[in-house]
């Protein structure tokens, strides 16, 4: 009997089974890697936004004084991080003011401050964080996606 070149059905089934097992083992590692990358991206964007907000607050182009926010870093429901400055003399910064800068955070990343969802962070004319109603009032933000967690601390 003459043997033909090629693979038998049994050999192909063994290869497909082995590939399936390898994929099942590798999938959790891939998900963890993806979560880690998204959290690191969000951490970088938050640090960049905080730096820009502090610089804008120090410029204080509209002469804000005392506890009036000279710059505000806001995060909306679509995960858009944006920087807003005071709109004019006597008018403190608000999340409704025109954007000076913005960046899209990864959708899977949750940002929290003091156990609640992060909405905004205000800085006075000395670039110090100020307590505004509904905004972050501590200097640590918690980022998480899946099993990956990171804290961003600023001064």
- How does DSSP classify residue 6? S
Q: In 3D, which of 101, 117, 104, 91 has the Cα closest to residue 41?
A: 104
CATH of 11-153, one of 3.30.70, 3.55.40, 1.10.287, 1.10.10: 3.55.40
CB contact set of 50 (below 8 Å; sequence gap of 6+): 73, 121, 152, 154
What is this structure's pTM?
A: 0.79
Q: Positive or negative CA dihedral for 89, 63, 81, 130?
A: negative
Residue 4 is classified by DSSP as P
Separate counts of helices (H) and strands (E) for the chain = 1, 9
pLDDT at 84 over 80: yes
Indicate the domain borders of the chain: 11-153
pLDDT class of 130 with cuts at 50, 70, 90: confident
Taking alpha carbons only, the member of 115, 114, 129 closest to residue 73 is 129
Q: What is the pLDDT of residues 1-27, one digit of tens each?
A: 666 778 889 999 999 999 999 988 888
**For the chain, how many residues are written?**
155
């Amino acid at each position: 009997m003459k043997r033909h070149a090629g693979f038998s059905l049994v050999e192909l089934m063994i290869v497909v089974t082995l590939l399936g097992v390898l994929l099942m083992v590798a999938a959790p590692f891939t998900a963890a890697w993806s979560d880690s990358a998204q959290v690191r991206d969000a951490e970088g964007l938050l640090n960049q936004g905080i730096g820009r907000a502090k610089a804008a607050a120090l410029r204080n182009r509209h002469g804000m004084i005392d506890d009036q926010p000279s710059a505000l870093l806001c995060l909306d429901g679509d995960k858009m991080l944006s920087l807003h400055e005071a709109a004019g003399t006597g008018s403190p910064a608000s999340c409704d003011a025109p954007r000076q800068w913005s960046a899209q955070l990864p959708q899977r990343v949750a940002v929290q401050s003091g156990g609640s969802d992060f909405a905004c962070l205000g800085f006075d004319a000395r670039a110090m964080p100020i307590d505004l109603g509904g905004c972050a009032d501590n200097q640590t933000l918690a980022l998480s996606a899946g099993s990956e967690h990171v804290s961003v601390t600023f001064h």
